[in-house]
Amino acid sequence: LNERYTKYKNGATAKRIGDSLKWNDAVDGPWYNFAAEKLLEVNRYKYKQNKAQRMSLFQTAPKELVETSPYDRYWGIGLSHDHKNVTDRSKWGTNAFGKLLMKLRDDMMKEGKYVGEIKTMKITMSKNGKCSADNLSPENK
């Protein structure tokens, strides 16, 4: 299964493959466990290889991240970003994707590998109010 997903360049193709799968929780284990594991794996790879994306993720700390999808109460909160109840947590779904991204962000920020980037980002943000991979010092790119 992993090989089938990793050779495709876009999510639409991977989704079509996923939709064609026959999944049996009793045999294969819970689908959401498998999906969460793969989603974490893919996003970890994405943020490790893409500095601009990683910096964007790090800049969200320590804020809570939410997936504002009105169609998905498991991976998202089940509300659009402009819904009148979007700030009312009692109306939210599970937000599994937002929680996954926060865990990934927090874990990566604790890794020694990114200490220089994080330090430079914080200094730049304190001076400019924002930061991007473009304005990091060369040793942190």
**Structural domain contains residue 106:** no
* pLDDT attached to residue 128: 74
As a whole number of angstroms, the distance between CA 26 and CA 28 comes to 6
**Structural domain contains residue 35:** yes
**Structural domain contains residue 127:** no
* pLDDT attached to residue 135: 46
- The dihedral of CA 137, 126, 110, 62: what is its sign? negative
Burial class (CB in 10 A: 0-12, 13-18, 19+), 121: buried
Q: For the chain, how many structural domains are there in total?
A: 1
pTM passes above 0.85: no
As a whole number of angstroms, the distance between CA 114 and CA 127 comes to 20
**Structural domain contains residue 8:** yes
**Structural domain contains residue 125:** no
**Structural domain contains residue 40:** yes
Name the residue among 103, 117, 1, 20 with its Cα closest to residue 59. Answer: 117
DSSP 73: T
Q: Is residue 44 within 8 Å of 103, Cβ to Cβ?
A: no
Start-end of H helices in the chain = 2-6, 11-20, 25-28, 31-49, 51-58, 96-110, 115-128
Domain containing 19 equals 1-49
* pLDDT attached to residue 131: 61
**Structural domain contains residue 18:** yes
* pLDDT attached to residue 5: 52
**Can you tell me which residue has the tokens 């959401």?**
32
**Structural domain contains residue 126:** no
Residue 139: alpha-carbon gap to chain centroid: 26
**Can you tell me which residue has the tokens 């994306």?**
53
The pLDDT averaged over each successive group of 10 residues in the chain (141 residues) is 60 79 88 91 94 93 95 97 97 97 96 89 77 46 39
* pLDDT attached to residue 31: 87
How crowded is residue 54: how many other Cβ atoms within 10 Å of its Cβ?
Answer: 21
